[in-house]
Amino acid sequence: MFTLTPRNGDVPTSSNPVELEIDAQGTEFLRQAHTQVDYLHCLVPDLFDITKCSFYWGKMDRYEAERLLENRADGTFLLRDSAQEEYLFSVSFRRYNRSLHARIEQWNHRFSFDSHDPGVYSSPTILGLIDHYKNPELCMFFEPTLTLPLHRSSPFSLQHLCRAVICSNTTYDGVNSLNLPKSLKLYLKEYHYKQRIRVRRLDVQLGEELLAQGEIESGVEHLSNAVAVCGQPQQLLQVLQQTLPPQVFRLLLERLPIVGQKLMASAAQSGLGMAEDDVE
């Protein structure tokens, strides 16, 4: 969906990108475009190996980590689950006589302490990343130095260990084929990350441009996707009914139930799909 708003009027409040448009009369408008982001869901590749490491403590917040690291030597570190939902793991470590924390980020199936900087070291596994920073000569002054592991004082539960073994022998999509209750499948999928693989622009104007170029099927598909994800589908359909040729509008209506079913299936499926927060 797009919203036309005069520049001297109220600007749409949304996280979606807003673009400046000028109509045939020269009036400026702000047009709000939507995108659909497709993700590939992947299990952490070395969860079993991580679980076996004595310096991995599992679920823990930064305050508990700081308590454990208090008065320890520089280079002492532990690996723990990140308290922030968008990250899986964090390291807590001692450097400059302080307890510090660094989130492990993921991009393009590689893990690093700064996924936005291509110059920062990255590894295809969590443990590969930690091994790199065990060498002080490879660490910049602002990076973690992980030389002295702080050993875990208690074992993990049998349930946690079983999850690590299973996840090391299957994939995110493969979990769905296991003969297990839904609650256990969700438990198995907890340690996973999302890799953005495609961003599709759901823009009414683009759909209309495709129709103008004679690409009827692509244009109708684009318009139907835009209607399916917009917040006011009835109003948008009324506008399209007035602007589209009758035969094209009928094709749009015929396709909408199919699009709705696909969107629901995408939100429910476990692999490639679109969740509610994937619409920007």
Instruction: Please indicate, yes or no, whether residues 141 and 174 belong to a single structural domain of this protein.
Output: yes
CATH number, domain of 254, equals 1.20.960.10
Instruction: Please indicate, yes or no, whether residues 172 and 268 belong to a single structural domain of this protein.
Output: no
Instruction: Please indicate, yes or no, whether residues 138 and 227 belong to a single structural domain of this protein.
Output: no
Instruction: Please indicate, yes or no, whether residues 58 and 105 belong to a single structural domain of this protein.
Output: yes
Residue at a domain's end among 145, 161, 194: 194
The residue segments making up the domain with residue 51 are 43-194
Q: What is the pLDDT of residue 278?
A: 32
Instruction: Please indicate, yes or no, whether residues 262 and 234 belong to a single structural domain of this protein.
Output: yes
Instruction: Please indicate, yes or no, whether residues 179 and 64 belong to a single structural domain of this protein.
Output: yes
Q: What is the pLDDT of residue 128?
A: 96
Q: What is the pTM of this model?
A: 0.63
Measured CA to CA in angstroms, residue 199 lies from 196, 246, 274, 279 at distances of: 8, 30, 11, 10
Interval 146-197: pLDDT, tens: 999 999 999 999 999 999 999 999 999 999 999 999 999 999 999 999 887 7
CATH number, domain of 119, equals 3.30.505.10
| Stretches in the chain below the pLDDT threshold 70 | 1-36, 198-203, 229-232, 258-280
DSSP 8-state code for residue 273 = B
Q: What is the pLDDT of residue 148?
A: 97
Instruction: Please indicate, yes or no, whether residues 210 and 253 belong to a single structural domain of this protein.
Output: yes
What torsion do the CA atoms of 115, 119, 124, 129 make, to the nearest 10 degrees? -90
Q: What is the pLDDT of residue 191?
A: 95
Residue at a domain's end among 154, 171, 194: 194
Q: Where are the beta strands (DSSP E) in 23-165?
A: 28-32, 34-43, 56-59, 76-81, 89-95, 98-103, 105-107, 110-112, 122-123, 148-149
Residue at a domain's end among 194, 221, 248: 194
Task: For residues 142 and 95, give the distance between their C-alpha atoms in angstroms, rounded to a whole number.
Answer: 9
Q: What is the pLDDT of residue 192?
A: 94
Number of compact structural domains in the chain: 2
Instruction: Please indicate, yes or no, whether residues 47 and 33 belong to a single structural domain of this protein.
Output: no
Q: What is the pLDDT of residue 196?
A: 79
Asked if 35 and 280 count as a contact pair (C-beta separation under 8 A), the reply is yes
Task: For residues 269 and 56, give the distance between their C-alpha atoms in angstroms, rounded to a whole number.
Answer: 31
Task: For residues 21 and 12, give the distance between their C-alpha atoms in angstroms, rounded to a whole number.
Answer: 14
Q: What is the pLDDT of residue 274?
A: 34
How many other CB atoms are found less than 10 A from the CB of residue 60?
19
Interval 210-230: pLDDT, tens: 788 888 888 888 788 777 766
Instruction: Please indicate, yes or no, whether residues 184 and 65 belong to a single structural domain of this protein.
Output: yes
Instruction: Please indicate, yes or no, whether residues 86 and 142 belong to a single structural domain of this protein.
Output: yes
Instruction: Please indicate, yes or no, whether residues 151 and 203 belong to a single structural domain of this protein.
Output: no
Instruction: Please indicate, yes or no, whether residues 154 and 205 belong to a single structural domain of this protein.
Output: no
